[in-house]
Amino acid sequence: MSKRLYKSNREKMVDGVCAGIGEYFDVDPTLVRLAWLLFCAVGGSGILVYIIAALVIPRRPQDAEWT
């Protein structure tokens, strides 16, 4: 089965984007959130990227297996 990127349903804080990315790359979602905050602080475009990711990345189906 191929690996797919989804927004997380379980560990979400705002919309589940960072938690979904953490699940996809098998890293702690907190590290992804910290990296995203740094990206926002340094470049400033992180907020726009988050909004786009929240719109583009699909939500994990409820019946999908948690891995």
Residue 31: band (very low, low, confident or very high) from pLDDT cuts 50, 70, 90 = very high
Domain enclosing residue 22, as ranges:
1-58
pLDDT in tens, 45-67: 778 888 898 999 898 887 655 55
Whether 6 and 20 have beta carbons less than 8 Å apart is answered as yes
Residue 17 located in a structural domain: yes
pLDDT in tens, 11-21: 778 888 988 89
28 inside domain: yes
4 located within any domain? yes
Over range 38-43, report the average pLDDT: 83
Q: How many domains does the chain have?
A: 1
HEC readout, 10-30: CCCCCCCHHHHHHHHHCCCHH
Is 48 a domain residue? yes
Q: Is 65 inside any structural domain?
A: no
For residue 1, the model assigns a pLDDT of 62
Per-residue model confidence (pLDDT) at position 43: 74
